[in-house]
Structure 1
């Protein structure tokens, strides 16, 4: 009898496939997205030095009273704040790493908000 693979195992397989294709440099860092059932996280990473340049999540103090749960509206706010922080640090273009998630729903909303905020990818 065949067993159905879980969503998370399928996501991790997609993540491993993309791992070697997506790299962030100091000139063009990587924008990585992670979402859990309750929160959404986004960070801009320089893979050459292994350092996080900018990070934003739905747990940040700026979003405390504004958001409730992890939904599309929360993802839009996180993307907008991330773009604002990135432009303050003179980051204009990034490589988008969806971390194995499908480009749909919350991940797409975060990406669109970051693009509207001035990031190029």
Structure 2
């Protein structure tokens, strides 16, 4: 079996396992996070309507800084930004969807900053 195919199947299995329990509603949308090698992206999604309420990433012009997009400081900046944008959209409670990523490093930094910004999850 090809090693790359095996890894992708494991990621897909972990993502599906996590998404069984995490579903975004109008009252409590889903905070979905994707971590790439160079950047980190997050969205607040209402799954019932299929609508993205707020989004932020290290690629946004106002969030770009001298720091790299692939470190914990940049992830914390994105976490604060998503909290502000979600509150502006009228969202205070979310359910955290980490996908197939482990809750360490950049994901934990983003989640902690979003909590400090006022999101509850």
Q: TM-score, normalised by structure 1?
A: 0.90
Partner of 1:34: 34
Q: Does the CA-based 8 Å contact 1:58-1:67 persist in structure 2?
A: no
Question: 1:70-111: CA deviations, max 9, x gaps?
Answer: 111110000000001111111100000001111100100000
1:13 aligns with 2:7: no
Provide Cα deviations, 1:32-74, integer angstroms capped at 9, x if missing partner: 0001111100000000011100010100011223432311111
Distance 2:78 2:113 in 1: 8
Instruction: For structure 2, list consecutive stretches of 5 or more residues without a partner in the other structure.
Output: none
Give the unaligned 5+ runs of structure 1: none
The aligned residue for residue 52 of structure 2 is: 52
Q: TM-score, normalised by structure 2?
A: 0.90
Equivalenced residue count is 119
